[in-house]
Amino acid sequence: MADKVNKSVKRVCVTGAAGYIGSWLVKNLLERGYTVNATLRDPGDEKKSRPLMELLGAEERLKLFKSDLCLEGSFDSAVEGCHGVFHVASPMDFTKANPDDFIAPAVNGMLNVMKACVGAKSVRRIIFTSSLTAASPMNDNGEFVQTCLDERSWSPLNLL
């Protein structure tokens, strides 16, 4: 049964926890005393799960969940009881040349996570990150023109 939501339980969910950003996020959240529900495509893959389970505080406050961006309902149990969700999971199949092959799974995955958050009724905040390829300090000619990335820093389509 999920923990009752109260001010003393700081439970959050991190999607894509085995990725570079996700794993650092899990590490920092554990260090700050949070209980973390972490999603992975395959928690049984020790190459992905062991580094997470070896983090300080993981034995007591980290739980791994099997979730798939393309499977509706896949995030429901991971989000249940959480007051915050960090959605950093994103499809990363760079072998596909057609943008629709990775854009649709990213959009549908985001919708699946959002539906899980609405259904959980405990989530108060969702932090969503995008792929690094969405923001770039380059102009259309591939020249670096910015030192700080913000909402105006969309990657030129011809460089993606």
Residues 46-69, mean pLDDT to the nearest whole number: 97
Contact 57, 51 (CB under 8 A): no
The CATH code that applies to domain 11-129 is 3.40.50.720
More confident residue, 53 or 152: 53
Q: Which residue has the tokens 């972490």?
A: 38
Residue 5, pLDDT above cutoff 50: no
Between the alpha carbon of residue 43 and those of residues 54, 63, 84, 143, the distances in Å are 14, 10, 21, 41
- pLDDT at residue 19 tops 50: yes
Per-residue confidence (pLDDT) for residue 63, from 0 to 100: 98
**Pick from 24, 4, 8: nearest CA to 120:** 4
- Sorted by where each begins, the domain ranges of the chain are 11-129, 133-160
Tell the burial category of 142 from Cβ atoms under 10 Å away from its Cβ (0-12, 13-18, 19+): exposed
Higher pLDDT, 144 or 11: 11
